[in-house]
Structure 1
């Protein structure tokens, strides 16, 4: 049941703990199938840290099993708070084993659409619906502000001259002016077009939330990062991205300048992170150089 690529990447990332978890997965799934009265109904697919098992329960659903990871702790809390309004429904949860029984959606994502305006508009509409008063005990994005500021200053020290001082100063201003006091709203936390899937009950449904409390404009900026990579060959990249910011912000009922400022902060953050760790798409080589050139351009242009 475990895709080979997923097993390999889990062991590469998690070592012995990952191997031990993979060995337990078949038994965990068998127990959940019995307890939740499901039967398997298709091939297992996977993301970065979890597998998705199609089941009938009796209606089409999926069991999501994730490697125990801090980023997944509050995923079921977010689904429970939304109650299916703009996101897949949560039917059952086993927090100890990082498992959920969820409404099944299609594999096709919003990111596969060719129309940038539709991607931005649908994302904005969903962001507005998902931005509800946050439940208690969820992590606050504002609590990360001190760490963000230190990370940027350390980036300057480790990679002097990589990002112009004016761009770093503007990113630090975003931390101070937007990051330390944020709305008490539930955020997705990893909001981009690949985490928005075709649905049956609704045209589009959000998946894979982190469940933070904070500024929905931050989610809007997160949505832009993969869009920038998808549009890297555009004749005028910044004009296209600014247009999509405006479309997203109007649909989400947000201030486009606030989204732009968060996008600037995230670009500067990515410029240092990429030099230190690489990116999921590229850890080295010419493609990493190309992505770094893109985020460097964004760090200056969004400023």
Structure 2
């Protein structure tokens, strides 16, 4: 079978890593995927489309007929931390890792067409909170994962280089919030999903809901929850009560998971502005405007 990369994967990799780097790997992808399938003696069913933005996901069957999903990740997207995090979680709150080496991960088959976004908002947030709570565990000693301070330092450098003067006030506010959060410090040092949101929680057979696609990082829980706060941002921005609804969501999520409200608000601001600036630089102005309007409410 031809392992054609979905358009979302092509677009996201090109925006994130540059067309030259992404294009070289995408050109090699059919051969890489075929080799991964043959080495594991898998039977291919289909490529998941539209799929994710950082990997090719193929629905397969193992030699014994059991269903699974093969995830092929480019080396520049750092597949090793994901493998290490899934190994540490052992399927508790997350998809189970069956085997993995290099950039190919063989995973438990979930229902990729059904995420928490299919639920009403209140129910989705409740289930999301219950799922992410399971993932927050202490990392092993000498874990090797990136820290929140390290990840956000790289992001802060990119934000300072933003060329649109209209976003300068929000960028300054976001950078100030990050500096204050890091200066105040926290005793928490937990293994975090790193990209947790409703779309990253899929329906499963072993458990009702399981997280996928971690970009693991070590730090405080408020950082991990911050991305979830802005889920369905298009609905928030479209509503007349969007600003007040956003603040209520921050408070409700913080209280339900015993997280400091102001720390969650600060990380939500930083992460929303960082995503908005990145969208602007990639030419996705509509996405950027939604994110930056949301950030302005915080």
TM over 0.5: yes
Q: TM-score range by the shorter chain?
A: 0.7 to 0.9
Instruction: Find out whether 1:300 has 2:296 as its counterpart.
Output: yes
Distance apart, 1:294 and its partner CA: 3.0
Deviations 1:114-167 (A, max 9, x none): x22122222212221111112311111212454454445444xx4445354xx5
* 1:50/1:292 CA distance change after superposition, 3 Å: closer
1:179 aligns to what? 182
Alpha-carbon separation, structure 1, partners of 2:48 and 2:292: 38
Aligned equivalents of 2:176, 2:115: Cα separation in 1: 34
8 Å contact 1:50–1:65 — kept in the other structure? yes
Q: How does 1:1-303 map to 2 (within 5 A)?
A: 1-3=2-4, 5-6=6-7, 9=11, 15=19, 17-45=21-49, 46-57=51-62, 58=64, 59-95=66-102, 98-107=103-112, 108-113=114-119, 115-135=120-140, 136-155=143-162, 158-164=163-169, 168=171, 170-179=173-182, 181=185, 183-278=188-283, 283=284, 288=285, 290-302=286-298
Shift in CA distance, 43/4, structure 1 to aligned 2, threshold 3 Å: closer
Instruction: State the Cα distance separating 1:83 from its structure 2 match.
Output: 0.5
Q: Which has the higher contact order (CA 8 A, sep 6+)?
A: 1
Contact 1:163 1:296 (8 Å CA) reproduced: no
User: Structure 1 pair 120/30, CA: closer, same or farther in 2 (3 Å)?
Assistant: same
**C-alpha spacing 1:169/1:44, structure 2 compared with 1 (3 Å):** closer
Q: 1:216 Cα shift?
A: 1.9
TM, length-normalised to structure 1? 0.82
Unaligned runs of 5+ in 1: none
**Displacement after TM superposition at 1:20 (Å):** 4.6
User: Does the CA-based 8 Å contact 1:221-1:259 persist in structure 2?
Assistant: yes
Task: State whether residues 177 and 266 of structure 2, in contact with CA within 8 Å, keep that contact through their aligned partners in structure 1.
Answer: yes
**Bigger mean CA deviation after superposition, 183-192 or 76-85:** 183-192
Q: Aligned-residue CA RMSD in angstroms?
A: 2.8
- SS state at 1:232 partner: helix
Gaps of 5+ in 2: none
> Would the aligned equivalents of 1:85 and 1:130 in 2 still touch at CA under 8 Å?
yes
Structure 1's consecutive aligned runs of 4 or more residues displaced over 6 angstroms after TM superposition are: none
Q: Is the 8 A contact 1:120 1:244 kept in 2?
A: no
- Corresponding residue pairs, total: 286
Aligned partners of 1:127 and 1:216 also within 8 Å: no
Contact 2:10 2:22 in 1 (8 A): no
Q: Are the counterparts in 2 of residues 163 and 271 from structure 1 also a CA contact under 8 Å?
A: no
Q: Is the 8 A contact 1:268 1:299 kept in 2?
A: yes
